[in-house]
Amino acid sequence: MLQRRTIIAAALAAAPLALTATGAAAAGAAESFIANNIQRGFDILNDRSLSAAERRSRFATFLLGLTDMRRVAIFLLGKYADGAVPEQINTFVDAFRDYSLAVYQSYFAQYSGQTLKVTGSRQRAPGDDIVSTTLTGDNSAEVDFRVRSDGPKPVLVDIAVAGIWLGLAERDEFAAVLARSHGDIAALIQHLRDAQSQYR
């Protein structure tokens, strides 16, 4: 009986250590994901051997490989996604993808030529980490990246510059558009297309 209690006590004592180690491993994976991939985005935008159109095309391919646009788009629709038909959802996802590519390219272009350094990370929940970085150069900034690793592969789901999260700002903006249009997703799609044109 005493031996059994000793084994149980040892297991309970080891559990927090195992959880901590798992969390640390996940955070390390998220940090590596950002360190290894984000600099590639800057390298594409800095490659002057490519035409502007080629840079946009390669950056789009790069970004789509890091993100789950459909997942993010449906999340941003919130409660309005429940009553939408699949065709409407698909059209919105396409519009959101095109808009997001333009926005992210604009954000990255502001910091082209910078050097990215990962400074740490924190776990929001299992499989959901915030990776903190510093961009150093002529236009230094602190940028956080939210990484989800609860799927088949890690994906980038949001970016914060100087503490302002792009996804949260978009969610508020989209909710306002939908509220004004009485939940008309077509109105939001048009809003995205109009907004995208401002980044061209």
Residues in CB range of 90: below 8 A, 6 or more apart:
none
Q: Which tens digit of pLDDT belongs to each residue from 29-77?
A: 899 999 888 888 878 878 889 888 888 888 889 888 888 889 889 988 8
Quote the tokens at residue 91: 């059209």
Q: Which tens digit of pLDDT belongs to each residue from 171-183?
A: 899 999 999 999 9
Rounded Cα distance, 102 and 132, in Å: 23
What value does the mean pLDDT take over residues 100-108? 83
SS3 of 152, please?
A: coil
Domain boundaries, the chain: 2-197
| Confidence grade of residue 27 (pLDDT, cut at 50, 70, 90) | low
pLDDT exceeds cutoff 50 at 17: no
User: Which CATH superfamily groups domain 2-197?
Assistant: Tgt2/MlaC (3.10.450.710)
Rounded Cα distance, 191 and 44, in Å: 29
